[in-house]
Structure 1
Amino acid sequence: MYAQCPDCLTVFSMDAETLAQARGHVVCGHCETEFDALASLSSQLPPEPFQQLPEHKSSGRPPQVESAVYRPRQESALAADSGTTPAAESEDFSHLVFSPRFARPAHQNRMRRWPWVLACLVLLLLLCAQLAWAKRDALVVDPTAGTLLRQACNSLGCRLPLVQDVQHLRLLARDVQAHPSVPGALLISATVRNDADFDQPWPVVVVTLSDVDGKHVAMRRLRPSEYLGDGFALQRGLPSGTSTALVLEVEDPGNKAVAFEFSFE
């Protein structure tokens, strides 16, 4: 509710408790003029700019109120019917003040807002997790982000997803010889080291055989399941900074093959 000082035209916000205690007579906090706040009391302000709030002129006869919201129990009548005496003192509700929603204290509004803030934070964290999972390969390869993720996983006991980067695979040694027990086959051995800062999945090994003129006479692509019999090692991947020996069996293309080369995919 709002009331206006008739002298300086300052508009003040009022509440029912203040008006009830002063019987409508208040003092202007701007010009110190005493005035009747009930004369210009209004529940809403007119559109700005405005000069004066409308005054309420007395009609001579008090208005009759009809919209009842509460009626106390007749303790004396109930006591007479039951033969008991009413309590010496009843509860006093005169100190209660009913205020509209917009006039509630700020701390109550903050208490109503915190569930929404918490829900927004949870949704934001889920969105960040979804984006991190979509960009997991780039994050694991990145030197800074990958190091932080590995440290976090080591603390939590989890494993990062394997990321393929064959540029960090180094061939340390290789050898080709006739298979000792299978006629018409070659036994190829190689030693591979993972120089990356992260674990990698086992690569596809490509073996290419060439003749004396450098022309390719045979090529074989071996998937990890074809040259690795350990399922647990296949799932764990090639650890970072470690070397491993690979043993491959391929068909002998004959005397035409005099050179061979390795590559990884």
Structure 2
Amino acid sequence: MYSRCPHCAKQHEVTVEHLRQARGLLDCSVCGKSFDALRFLSEDDDAVLADESPYPDDQISEKRPQTPAVWFVATNLALLLLLAQILYFEDYRLTMQPQLRAGLDKVCAAFACRLPPYKNLEEFSVSHSDLRVQSDSSYLFSALLSNQAPFAQVAPDLKLSVLNFNGEVIAERVFRATEYLLRPTGLAPEQTVEIRLAIVAPAASIGGYTFTLL
């Protein structure tokens, strides 16, 4: 069997198997354009075109099935749009969810975007805290701060309150992360750092202390 290209009139020999695999479409070896081989099929190798009606290229493009690359690009664009909508409407709160953070990190890595630094105070732990008087009558607050999250976290600020023997606050101060960390960029997963803060002794006697992560 034969089929003639309607664009340049080149005759091509075809088989049933070839037509089945190509879904009836052929690429002309002379002009490089695609055409519907079934439309111009004949048994004679020198047959003229049976259909002389216009045969624009856009008709071929509509019939040609989409390639996997097109679907890949379309899928990635859809994912990027979805991520943009999530960050726009939910913003910071949603990116701080540990159940979603790992997936969002992977998506952002693929599209070269940046999520806000992770910070979840519930995933910090403080141990071995102590407030001791020094030889110069000042006080030293010390503690161990651990990041228990599976992600790096921004180091929190710390509010230290000094109490009298009646449990009343007699002095209070917020210490920034830059005041107790040499590199306050954050804590790696499972990292523990030591906090050491020098405190000037208040006029009243100290009966206790409290601290809060901010």
* 1:175 paired to 2:130: yes
Name the CA distance, whole Å, in 1 between partners of 2:79 and 2:109: 21
Structure-2 residue corresponding to 1:194: 147
1:262 aligns with 2:208: no
Kept in 1, the 8 Å contact 2:95–2:118? The answer is no
Q: Is the partner of 1:229 in helix, strand or coil?
A: coil
Question: Which structure's residues are more often strand, by fraction?
Answer: 2
After TM superposition, give the deviation of residue 225 of structure 1 in Å.
1.3
Q: Secondary structure at the match of 2:153?
A: coil
Q: Which structure exhibits the higher relative contact order, with contacts defined as CA atoms closer than 8 Å and separated by 6 or more residues?
A: 2
Question: Paired residue for 2:120?
Answer: 165
Would you say the 8 A contact 1:137–1:163 is kept in 2? no
Larger gyration radius, structure 1 or structure 2:
1
User: Is residue 2:72 matched to residue 1:142?
Assistant: no
Amino acid at match of 2:147: N
CA distance in 1, matches of 2:122, 2:199: 25
Instruction: Report the counterpart of residue 43 of structure 1 in structure 2.
Output: none
Q: Which residue of structure 2 lines up, in the alignment, with residue 208 of structure 1?
A: 161
Letter in 1 for 2:198: E
**Which residue among 212, 220, 242 is the counterpart of 2:191?**
242
SS in structure 2 at match of 1:238:
coil
Partner of 1:109: 62
1:124 alignment counterpart: 78
* Cα RMSD, aligned residues only: 4.1
Residues 245 and 117 from structure 1, CA distance in 2 versus in 1: closer, same or farther, beyond 3 angstroms?
Answer: closer
Alignment CA distance shift 1:153-1:217 (3 Å): same
Contact 2:130–2:141 at 8 Å: present in 1 too?
Answer: yes
CA distance in 1, matches of 2:76, 2:114: 24
Q: Give the 3-state SS of the residue equivalent to 1:221 in structure 2.
A: strand
The offset of 1:219, in angstroms, is 0.4
How many residue pairs are counted as aligned between the two chains?
164
Give deviations 1:120-152, integer Å, cap 9, x for gaps: 656434312323544465245232x33445677
Percent identity between matched residues is: 19
- Tell me if structure 2 keeps the 8 A contact 1:202–1:238: yes
Equivalence map 1:16-95=2 (5 Å) = 95=49
The reply to whether residue 225 of structure 1 matches residue 193 of structure 2 is no
Change (3 A) 1:254 1:130: same
TM-score, structure 1 length as denominator? 0.49
Structure 2 unaligned residues grouped into runs of 5+: 1-47
Rounded to whole Å, the distance in 1 between the matches of 2:92 and 2:204 is: 48
* 8 Å Cα contact 1:193-1:242 kept in structure 2: yes
Distance 1:123 1:168, change over 3 A: closer
Partner Cα separation in structure 1 for residue 96 and residue 106 of structure 2: 12
Query: Given the superposition, is the C-alpha separation of residues 213 and 243 from structure 1 closer, same or farther in structure 2, using an over 3 Å criterion?
Result: same
> What secondary structure sits across from 2:62 in the alignment?
helix
Distance 1:155 1:116, change over 3 A: closer
CA drift at 1:113: 8.2
What TM-score, normalized to structure 2?
0.59
Cα distance change on mapping 1:121 and 1:111 into 2, 3 Å:
farther
SS at match of 1:164: coil
Matched letter for residue 253 of structure 1? P
Shift in CA distance, 257/126, structure 1 to aligned 2, threshold 3 Å: same
